[in-house]
A and B are shown apart, each in its own frame.
Chain A
Amino acid sequence: MKRKHVHNPWGGFFFVLPSILAIAVFVYGMIGWTLKLSFSHRTNAWSKDNSFAGLSNYTGLLEDPEFTHAFGNLMKFTVVFMIGTLISGLIMSLLLEKGIKGEGLFRSIYLYPMAISFIAMGTSWRWLMDSAHDDKATGLNMVLRAAHLGILQNDWYSSEKGSMYAMALPAIWQMSGYVMALFLAGFRGIPDDLREAARVDGASETKIYRHILFPQLKPTFLTVLIILGHISMKVFDLIYGIASKSYVTKVLAIYLWQVIFDFQNFAKGSAIAMVILVIIAVVVIPYLRYVNKSEEMK
């Protein structure tokens, strides 16, 4: 049995106490404060009315077409971004996991987008996804024309139709390397004997992946989904860096920024923040409990 260090049970507590207080105040306390604001009457810059407004700010959201529009956009973005990133990251890791000459180079090129700010990359992507067509085409539209796929030219993120799917491209580009790294770590944590044994038994490569490797990667899949999901719910810089506050690509975090800064409606802004928080919490809290439990089992 592993010995836990209980000789000095409260010494450790003393040293983490400052952090506990900081988290209690700045994470939980301030969430509580925002929650209170979301139930208040502070709906413009002059109002100091913190009195209880019931659920009016929340019910107001449901009747606000900008909010439902931003929410719908966010859902579209989330689906495409999560599936796209999962698949492309998985493909990258499948291509690399057995080892190949030049692996280090491929790996570092796939992963570098994680080291660069969305605002900087937005400059390139804005140009790549320029909406000009045909003779005036630039960026990706020009590439498509050059490849005789001119028919596929589109407005990317600048028209209502498909704007969120286009916006998912830079996001997939940015995060795929991360997913690749997580899967590579997963694959390489599986002992080689398992594969060898299956091969000796005559299993085909496809069967080995399906019945032996993928089931072992379940925790990795879960981790990837949680990471991508919470990033997607919060997405802000990426969209702001490319399209600023454009209506067609508005998501909750962008709308929230407008509501707070441009309209100074703190109560409504807080309500939107709480909506994002609750969506994340519903998924993340069970996940953290699961992680916590499986750590204790070790």
Chain B
Amino acid sequence: MTTDLVDRITQHKNVSNSRKLTGKGQFALVFRYISLSILFVIAILPIYIMVVNSVKGITGVSQSAAFTIPTHLNFAAWGPTWAILKVPMGRTLFFVVQSSIISAIIGSINGYVFAKWRFKGSSAIFTAFLFGMFIPYQAIMIPLTQFNHWAGIGGTIYVLVVAHVIYGIPICTLIFRNYYAAIPNELIEAGRVDGAGMVRIFRTIFLPLSIPGFVVVLIWQFTSAWNDFLFAIFLTGGAPKLAVATTALNFITGSGNQVYYGNNMTASLIVSIPTLLVYMFLGRYFLRGLLGGALKG
């Protein structure tokens, strides 16, 4: 596994349509663009519907006109929807920031050890960690609830901090391990010659090089915890006082309210905005996280 998969993907290939093409080549190029555009329309359709129907007001939304672009912008649905989502989204931000930062710190320490300071049995332990990425969380949910109760955090938002930190260990460790594996061992040797130990080499050599790795892991943990529904619904039981973005959204759009299209679309869009912004501005790091979690390229 190389760490620059993303560089590979985003590298600029010699773009063939700058060359003069023969008839057959031109046909192939047109075919490619048409196919790409069809896929583009399909990919964008669900978010397009969300966006256009969020600016048609509360009563101006009808299902049969959902594809049409609004004649004028009406943000009437935004106010009441935001009023409901404000508190749950604030709560989500509160726990997501904590869990992401703690996860990144743990991941960087583990990744450093598994990449550069292997001990006897470390690769078996690492594999045992990785299996934790694949398990269905339902298989630990009942004991986890009991643990939370025992630890005195049952009924608080910290249940989600604990869940995302602990079950984030495998993926964060993996991403950092691959990141550090690409840093040459000579740097460690140089540090040792200067009399530095494992901890000082980490602090003075690896940490300063780790910023991109931290961005990747922070984004990864932020996105997955923000979008998580399973832990949220299991561990909070859907309690309103612990509502987070996804559970609040599910409550808004849930059965019985499905006729309020304008509100539902607006609420879904508002909940998606934070992760979409991260994706738009830091997409490269997001992609790195996605591929980093794939083990082999």
Residues of A near any B CB (own CB < 8 A)? 2-13, 15-16, 18-20, 22-23, 26-31, 33-34, 37, 88, 91-92, 95-96, 98-104, 106-128, 130, 137-139, 142-143, 170, 173, 176-178, 181-182, 184-186, 188-189, 219-220, 222-223, 227, 230, 233-234, 236-237, 240-241, 244, 253, 256-257, 260-261, 266, 269-270, 272-274, 276-277, 280-281, 284-285, 288-289, 291-292, 294-296
Contacts and interface: CB of A to CB of B under 8 A. Distances in A.
Given A31-B135, A124-B268, A189-B8, 10 more contacts: A34-B143, A100-B15, A103-B15, A109-B43, A113-B46, A114-B286, A115-B223, A115-B275, A127-B261, A233-B136
Interface in B40-70: 40, 42-47, 49-50, 63-64, 66-67
B97 to A, nearest CB: 18
Nearest to B121: A13
Contacts of B271: 117, 119-120
A7 B226 CA distance: 42
Interface string B126-148: 11111110111111111110010
Interface string B193-211: 0000110000000000000
Given A99-B14, A188-B8, A269-B142, A12 B113 contact: yes
A123 B229 contact: no
A205 B237 CA distance: 56
- By secondary structure, the A interface counts as helix
Contacts of A109: 40, 43-44
A244 B255 contact: yes
B123 A173 contact: no
26 contacts: A3-B185, A5-B185, A8-B117, A12-B117, A15-B109, A15-B110, A19-B169, A30-B144, A30-B147, A33-B142, A34-B143, A95-B32, A109-B44, A112-B47, A112-B279, A115-B278, A119-B250, A219-B297, A223-B297, A234-B136, A236-B230, A257-B234, A260-B141, A266-B142, A280-B135, A292-B126
B27 interface: no
Contacts of A11: 117, 197-198
A27 B131 contact: yes
A10 B32 contact: no
B166 interface: yes
B156 interface: no
Contacts, number: 318
Contact of B143 (A33, A108, A281): A33
Contacts of B136: 233-234, 253, 273, 276-277, 280
B42 A100 contact: no
Contacts of B228: 117
A125 B134 CA distance: 27
B229 A236 contact: yes
A289 to B, nearest CB: 7
B26 interface: no
A105 to B, nearest CB: 8
Contacts of A95: 32, 35-36, 39
Interface of B: 1-2, 5-6, 8-18, 29, 32-33, 35-36, 39-40, 42-47, 49-50, 63-64, 66-67, 106, 109-110, 112-114, 116-120, 122-123, 125-132, 134-144, 147, 166-167, 169-170, 173, 185, 188, 192, 197-198, 223, 226-230, 233-234, 237, 245-246, 249-250, 253-255, 258, 261, 264-265, 267-269, 271-272, 275-276, 278-279, 283, 286-287, 290-291, 294-297
Nearest to B170: A23
A130 B42 contact: no
A19 B129 contact: yes
A25 B246 CA distance: 28
Nearest to A184: B9
B9 A185 contact: yes
Contacts of A15: 109-110, 112-113, 117, 198
- Most chain A CB inside 10 Å of its own CB: which residue of B9, B12, B36, B170: B9
A91 to B, nearest CB: 7
B106 A19 contact: yes
A284 B39 contact: no
A119 B229 contact: yes
